[in-house]
């Protein structure tokens, strides 16, 4: 990059700050545009000023006149006025991930990249654990942990890279060692405009990958992989040659072995997958495929699963109260993720609701109906879920809990406890985003867990 030109960075978020630091460290002239003018933003601006980065506050509608490249925040849609103005002015727009790829030094760590609607963080952490068990200095980066623009010059010898659809939209030259698509289901349609466009963006991860890995049980992921010879599938069924899959109670590899037509290698047992659920077995197989593509031995795959610690708010057991289990899957922020969670339990009081982001929940409710004892609904789009329940699960009792305060979760848990019977699972799997009431899915899950612990401390009081 030419130090005589100017690079504009949109936003002072984590990725924006990382991009500005990386560019300033290379001697580039950098200006950051930030609409919000608060204490946190001013502190970040002061830190960047020491590196020679100028921060301009205010709702800029177009980039500075001498901008030759604009690095955008991953969540900004292409329709954002600043980005449309940049396009009209002929200014190239990229994201922090694309910037990281362009700035990586010679001999930089290879990328094992993955995307999908659900399971990305779980898979990237499983993958990092497998790589570490094999003796690599592996870093989990991208849409998780360390900003990738910093990690490319860090100590890792291989990067496990989680990529969102937003990040892939603004990336055009990534060439990972291996790329995987875990699944594709309606999500972020308000951002991408259609499922076809969302899927197309997910498929960009394959375009220059050395090895393509895909979910053979997912129709869209399979279609995205079809143009790539030698693509490796993973499946919950018995695998064909060129796939990883399940045989009885074993996870097996029929792709990265000497004779895939006639041989398979045992990777792990189903009991090694925690928390156990069909979709988490698929996650483990995806991580194993990525790891095996990089030469990770079988023993390290199994050890990695043993070392893996699930992130909070993902099918997280909270407590048992009155012979009823309470499980926090607040990260199930779309219908696809909620469906995977609901499929893991036989009798459920379902806690659901939030912002559906333009997605339909009819098929989710239809599939889950046989497992539902009752449902407790909260949040902005709860009426849409109630309508789907009336259509596909008319005999399931439904309670709506109105309110926009975070204390609503205590009322939700009280209602759920009253509907549950011994042996049931009260499952928070909202199928929607949290920002209608909570700051994020973590805050929502924590509110649920606190309410459950209060119920456990005084179950009689919760029923009053």
329 is in an annotated binding site: no
121 is in an annotated binding site: yes
The reported pLDDT for the residue numbered 359 is: 80
Decide if 152 is inside a domain: yes
The reported pLDDT for the residue numbered 146 is: 82
My answer on whether 140 and 285 are in the same domain is: yes
Residue 166 contacts by C-beta under 8 Å, 6 or more apart in sequence?
74, 75, 95, 188, 191
Residue 189: pLDDT band (50, 70, 90) is confident
The reported pLDDT for the residue numbered 463 is: 47
**Number of domains, the chain:** 3
**Beta bridge mates, 233:** 214, 243
Residue 5 pLDDT > 80: no
122 is in an annotated binding site: yes
202 is in an annotated binding site: no
Residue 347 CA to residue 162 CA, distance in Å, equals 33
CATH number of the domain at 445, please. Answer: 3.90.190.20
Average pLDDT, the chain: 94
My answer on whether 300 and 320 are in the same domain is: no
My answer on whether 159 and 301 are in the same domain is: yes
- Maximum separation of any 2 CA atoms in the chain, in Å: 71
Provide the domain limits for residue 65: 6-98
117 is in an annotated binding site: yes
116 is in an annotated binding site: yes
Decide if 181 is inside a domain: yes
**Stretch 328-357: mean pLDDT, rounded?**
95
Write the DSSP assignment of 42-72 as a string of letters: HHHHHHHHTTT-EEEES--SS--TTEEEEEE
Decide if 464 is inside a domain: no
My answer on whether 128 and 184 are in the same domain is: yes
Give the global pTM: 0.86
| Cβ atoms of residues 411 and 464 within 8 Å | no
**Stretch 201-221: mean pLDDT, rounded?**
98
My answer on whether 159 and 292 are in the same domain is: yes
Residue 462: pLDDT band (50, 70, 90) is low
pLDDT digits (tens, 9 = 90+) for 157-169: 999 999 999 999 9
Neighbours of 57 (CB within 10 A): 16
Which candidate, 279, 180, 291, places its Cα nearest to that of 232? 180
Residue 4 pLDDT > 60: no
Last residue of a domain, one of 73, 98, 123: 98
Q: What's the Cα-to-Cα distance from 452 to each of 266, 321, 439, 445, rounded to whole Å?
A: 40, 8, 20, 11
119 is in an annotated binding site: yes
């Amino acid at each position: 990059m030419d130090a005589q030109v100017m690079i504009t960075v949109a936003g002072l978020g984590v990725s924006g700050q990382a991009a500005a630091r990386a560019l300033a460290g290379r001697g580039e002239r950098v200006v950051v545009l930030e609409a919000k003018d608060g204490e946190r933003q001013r502190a970040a601006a002061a830190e960047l000023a020491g590196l020679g980065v100028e921060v301009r506050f205010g709702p800029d509608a177009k980039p500075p006149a001498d901008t030759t490249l604009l690095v955008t925040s991953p969540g900004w849609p292409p329709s954002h006025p600043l980005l449309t103005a940049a396009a009209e002015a002929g200014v190239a727009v990229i994201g922090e991930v694309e910037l990281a790829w362009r700035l990586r030094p010679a001999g930089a760590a290879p990328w094992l990249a993955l995307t999908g609607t659900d399971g990305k963080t779980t898979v990237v952490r499983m993958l990092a654990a497998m790589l570490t068990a094999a003796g690599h200095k592996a870093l989990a980066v991208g849409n998780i942990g360390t900003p990738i623009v910093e990690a490319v010059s860090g100590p890792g010898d291989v990067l496990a890279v989680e990529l969102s659809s937003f990040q892939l939209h603004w990336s055009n030259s990534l060439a990972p060692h291996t790329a995987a698509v875990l699944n594709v289901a309606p999500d972020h349609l308000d951002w991408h405009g259609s499922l076809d466009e969302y899927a197309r963006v997910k498929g960009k991860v394959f375009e220059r990958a050395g090895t393509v890995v895909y979910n053979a049980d997912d129709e869209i992921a399979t279609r995205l992989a079809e143009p790539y010879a030698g693509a490796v599938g993973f499946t919950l069924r018995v695998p064909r040659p060129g796939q990883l899959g399940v045989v009885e109670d074993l996870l097996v590899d029929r792709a990265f072995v000497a004779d895939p037509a006639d041989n398979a290698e045992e990777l792990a047992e189903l009991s090694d997958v925690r928390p156990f659920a069909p979709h988490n077995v698929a996650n483990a197989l995806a991580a194993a495929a990525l790891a095996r593509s990089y030469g990770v031995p079988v023993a390290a795959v199994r050890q990695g699963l043993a070392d893996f610690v699930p992130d909070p708010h993902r099918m997280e057991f909270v407590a048992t109260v009155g012979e009823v289990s309470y499980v926090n899957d607040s990260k199930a922020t779309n219908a696809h993720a909620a469906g995977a969670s609901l499929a893991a339990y036989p009798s459920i009081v379902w806690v659901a609701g939030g912002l559906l982001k333009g997605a339909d929940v009819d098929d989710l409710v239809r599939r889950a109906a046989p497992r539902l004892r009752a449902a407790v609904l909260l949040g902005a789009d709860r009426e849409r879920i109630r309508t789907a329940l009336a259509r596909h699960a008319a005999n399931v009792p439904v309670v709506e809990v109105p309110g926009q305060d975070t204390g609503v979760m205590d009322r939700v848990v009280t209602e759920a406890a009253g509907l549950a019977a011994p042996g049931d699972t009260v499952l928070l799997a909202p199928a929607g985003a949290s920002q209608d009431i909570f700051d994020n899915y973590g805050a929502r899950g924590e509110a649920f867990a606190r309410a459950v612990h209060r119920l456990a401390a005084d179950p009689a009081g919760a029923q009053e």
